[in-house]
Structure 1
Amino acid sequence: MQLDFFPSRTLTLYLAKMFVLRILAVLVMLVLVLLALDLLSATGKILAPEGNGQAEILRYASLRLPQLISRFLPYSVLLATLITLVTLNQNSEVVAMKAAGLSAHQVLAPLLLTAALVAGLSFGFNERIVTRANATLKAWEAAEYGPIPDVDASIGGVRSSVYLTDGNNILAAATLSGAGNAIVLTGVTWYERAPGGIIREQVRSPRATYAGPGWRLENPVRFDVAGAMTDQLPALVVGENLTPERIMLQSIDPDAQSFWELGQSIEAYEAAGRNTDEMRAKWWHRLSGPLSALLMPLLGSIAAFGLARSGQLFVRAIIGMALGFAYFVVDNAALAMGSFGGYPPFLAAWAPFFLFLLLGETVLIRTEE
């Protein structure tokens, strides 16, 4: 019986249903509160462009909602774990299960199975919905919540915050749409700099297209720094060394690409001799991130055991919460270290997961098994 992790179908369904309902309740509560706070800070910026109104606020909320769900789903699993296990402990249901011959792992097995299903759903949700919401929202923010350029999806999507160097000079654009020779840049600024890095003149243009070579600025306005003068120019071609291929590589946003698209981008970067540590760390984290939900029942399991009347239940719940939040702190720190090369990308993404997996198992075995 000790090797049968699901000895009772009724008990498994009972615990799984209880766990799922609490995950959903905590997630809805967290997301609604955080979305309301986010809207309070962002509404002024959304309504600033002429013509924006309630529809744009609802659009912003629809784009932020997937991001909040993705970010706080593991926290919801942790809190739901503590609520579920504390409730079972207070009602002596854990005592009854252990008296029936169930081990600590068998008590947790339905919760772990549910968490594994949540991790799988989280991965699919991130790939199909969150990445697209990230791309759209970043492009909209780069356009200062104004109209986003329309583009045929077959020739590429919309990217934001393009920044490239051409020798001493700099080409920056708010958004990029299309691909290859059909690239269109909007909100373009060209900085012409002296060899020492001092800006000599700044040219702004609402739109730029590929001139082969270079990029043709439409209706450019030049500001001469030395003379503090502004004048209108005819169409101007700049950045002749900036090819469409280089711009496409430079404008890659790992958060806006799916797992497989990001893998292709990493291969393209490596072929071009570019550093891929940050992108590869995020690529690995696309797998380890959703799997963090699987750790939460294990880290919070300390709240399930021990007699409720001993007065230590609250302390056990605090310890379980501390272990769960410690994982998120270590995970974010390791990912940051991997982004600038402090850790190898694989280690940065997976070391916190395996470290806390071993820690949770050690605590459970030493105290309950």
Structure 2
Amino acid sequence: MSAGFSKLPRLPFRWDGAFKLSVMDRYIATELIAPFLFGVGAFSSLGVSVGALFELIRRVTESGLPLSIAFKVLLLQFPQFIVYSFPTSTLMANLMTYSRLSSDSELTALKSCGVSVYRMVLPALVLCTLVTGLTFVFNESIVPASNFRATTTLSEALKSDEPLFQERNILYQEFRNVEDEDGDREEVLSRLFYAKEFNGQQMLGLTILDFSQNGLDQIVSARSAEWNSDQKTWDFSDGTIYVVSADGSFRNIVTFEQQQLQLPRAPLDLASRKRDYDEMNIAESLDYLETLRQSGSESKIQKLRVRIQQKLALPFVCISFGLVGAALGTRLNRTGRATGFAISLLMVFGYYLLTILSGAFAQVGYIPPVLGGWLPNIFGLIIAIWLLIKSSQ
């Protein structure tokens, strides 16, 4: 036991013009750093090996992927596995540190000085909060761009024939809010945009139903249409506009070779290849969600809503894992590095199993997306609180 513990003050923080850490805080924080860094390296390497390395080796041997490109893609995928390692590393670091302090009777000495278990785990909570912020920064600023760059690099190297857009049956619905006689507002269909095919530049075989004008509907049929980025309009070619009155009779029929129509760009965004869920940050995911809401694809909307909640919840797993590790460590007398590593793997497996199940239930509508994303965190936090209460008794 460190000799410095005999001089521990009963109040761990002092305020004398500046905020100062106590000896206990500095000691525990120092003990936590080494296993945390070890966990980041170990779990990141394990994740890369299982999740990316084997697949890249197969690409090299079967598809002729150059080794230099494979190495570049591996480096670009590494930030994602570092993020995944953060929660596991906080769990293992706290579990190993507090179990060692417990086995060396240092926690007993702290209790004899009047320090509660809740106060002992405060350095762990501070570390977990810092790692939570670091995880959020990585997951929002680095990982999406890095994953997208890895995907494009791999596709370009393999000369993938997979189109970067949705080729057929592009359907986009635009809604507007109207006020009824009672003053209530409701959402009604304003336009329906349909294209049989998109070749990467032009929409082909278009039919647009326009209900935006009261008492007057329009049907636009055209051979092709292309988005005019300079004027922010659609350039339609070889088409016909049918104007229909409220009683269903045709009021006017206009044929054209070239016609510009003020329609939203959203159908092009919907047809263009969107990034995968792991290649978008939260802001990009919310923008894509708004586009999907106009398309009417309920299954895709629900799936994206669940993924957004999971993306929000992921950084806070560090707090749940860290508190569980610290609380469990205070109850274990002797836990070596191998045992701590094994317990961490077991708990992580249970967490991700619960994540998969709760996400699946949320996607099919059995539970709300918020609960589907946050349920594993809530479950882990409940376990941590229960363990802390048991340790303090």
Q: Verify: 1:166 aligned to 2:180, yes or no.
A: no
Question: CA–CA distance in 1 between the matches of 2:373 and 2:226?
Answer: 34
Contact 1:6 1:110 in 2 (8 A): no
Contact 1:142 1:160 in 2 (8 A): no
For residue 34 of structure 1, report the CA deviation from its aligned partner: 3.9
| Structure 2 residue corresponding to 1:254, chosen from 257, 261, 277 | 277
TM-score (norm 1): 0.68
* Long gaps (5+) in structure 1: 150-158, 168-190, 193-206, 216-238
State the partner residue of 2:133: 120
Q: Verify: 1:308 aligned to 2:302, yes or no.
A: no
Q: Which amino acid aligns with 1:297?
A: G
Contact 2:121 2:326 in 1 (8 A): yes
For residue 124 of structure 1, report the CA deviation from its aligned partner: 0.6
Q: Verify: 1:9 aligned to 2:19, yes or no.
A: no
| Structure 1 residue corresponding to 2:313, chosen from 263, 288, 308 | 288
Q: Verify: 1:74 aligned to 2:91, yes or no.
A: no
Higher strand share: 2
| Structure 2 residue corresponding to 1:211, chosen from 198, 202, 205 | 202
State the partner residue of 2:36: 23
**Higher relative contact order structure (alpha carbons within 8 Å, sequence separation ≥ 6):** 2
Contact 2:203 2:226 in 1 (8 A): no
Question: CA–CA distance in 2 between the matches of 1:162 and 1:60?
Answer: 23
What SS class does the counterpart of residue 210 from structure 1 fall into?
coil
Q: Verify: 1:133 aligned to 2:146, yes or no.
A: yes
Can you list the C-alpha shifts for 1:209-243, whole angstroms capped at 9, x where unaligned? 3135469xxxxxxxxxxxxxxxxxxxxxxx96999
Shift of the 138–336 alpha-carbon distance from structure 1 to 2, 3 Å rule, reads farther
Shift of the 210–44 alpha-carbon distance from structure 1 to 2, 3 Å rule, reads same
Which is greater in Rg? Answer: 2
Question: CA–CA distance in 2 between the matches of 1:278 and 1:164?
Answer: 22
Shift of the 116–266 alpha-carbon distance from structure 1 to 2, 3 Å rule, reads same
| Structure 2 residue corresponding to 1:347, chosen from 352, 364, 371 | 371
| Residues 78-117 of structure 1: pairs in structure 2 closer than 5 A | 78-117=91-130
Contact 1:77 1:293 in 2 (8 A): yes
Shift of the 95–42 alpha-carbon distance from structure 1 to 2, 3 Å rule, reads same
State the partner residue of 1:42: 56
Instruction: Work out the percentage of aligned pairs sharing the same amino acid.
Output: 22
TM-score (norm 2): 0.64
Q: Which amino acid aligns with 2:362?
A: G
Contact 2:95 2:340 in 1 (8 A): no
Q: Verify: 1:326 aligned to 2:353, yes or no.
A: no
Contact 1:27 1:76 in 2 (8 A): yes
Question: CA–CA distance in 2 between the matches of 1:93 and 1:103?
Answer: 13
What SS class does the counterpart of residue 166 from structure 1 fall into?
strand
What SS class does the counterpart of residue 142 from structure 2 fall into?
helix
Shift of the 367–15 alpha-carbon distance from structure 1 to 2, 3 Å rule, reads closer
Q: Which moved more, 1:288-297 or 1:33-42?
A: 33-42
Q: Which moved more, 1:319-328 or 1:265-274?
A: 319-328
Question: CA–CA distance in 2 between the matches of 1:161 and 1:319?
Answer: 43
What SS class does the counterpart of residue 200 from structure 2 fall into?
strand
Contact 2:165 2:200 in 1 (8 A): no
What SS class does the counterpart of residue 343 from structure 1 fall into?
coil
Contact 2:44 2:85 in 1 (8 A): yes
For residue 49 of structure 1, report the CA deviation from its aligned partner: 5.6
